[in-house]
Amino acid sequence: MKKILIALMLVIGMFAYGDTMSDEIKKFYDSVEADTYIPDVQVVEDILREPYYNYNSPFAPESDTVISYGDFIIQISTWYAYETIYNFDVNKMKKEKPSIDKYFKDFHYKAIMDGDFLQVLWCIPSAHTLGVIDVTSGVIWIYGVDTGMASYTKGLYSMEPLHMRYSDFMYGLDRTDKELYKVICEINDVKI
């Protein structure tokens, strides 16, 4: 974990100097050696398809359908991009149509060993998100995004608080900003 954190800190340091965040995230991801041991790779594939506790889609907060680990990462990253890259700008979002599918196509992951512990390194460069899944605990961590939940390691935060933030935002959006609500629903084929 220490090696990964040091590398992640270097990546974040590069962001501060104006390098293209997407490119730097992808460069970092590519620089980390993958664990190619077949059973470990299978564990990673399986965990990404498993339900992520009882979390539903933040795009359909009233739904009872539980989403997988992979879908959780992709959907939270989509919301994060809406908030940080697009600043919820309706016109920009209409023009560029940043959908869940767009970020799904840019979702990269691989098994990595941190000492004796198997982890999943993941990134969605176009959403400016990077993190790990701790296979032992099942927690999804995001790097450099202070989610409000205490971090056991500097710079890594649980993604779970972002689910509540974005689900609550979507839940009231049809009453607070009908145009933004409509655009988000249209881009992502969410039934209104």
* Span 91-141, pLDDT tens digits: 999 999 999 999 999 999 999 998 899 999 999 999 999 999 999 999 999
pLDDT band at 15 (very low <50, low <70, confident <90, very high): very low
Strand order through the sheet with 140-143: 108-114, 117-124, 129-134, 140-143, 156-158
Ordered DSSP codes for 83-108: HHTSTT-HHHHHHH---HHHHHHT-E
Name which of 53, 91, 63 is nearest 190 in CA terms: 63
Asked whether the whole model's pTM tops 0.85, one would answer: yes
Structure tokens at 63: 């739904």
Q: What is the mean pLDDT of the chain?
A: 90
What is the mean predicted confidence (pLDDT) over 35-59? 96
Domain residue extents for the chain: 2-187
Where in 4-154 does DSSP place strands (E)? 51-56, 66-68, 108-114, 117-124, 129-134, 140-143
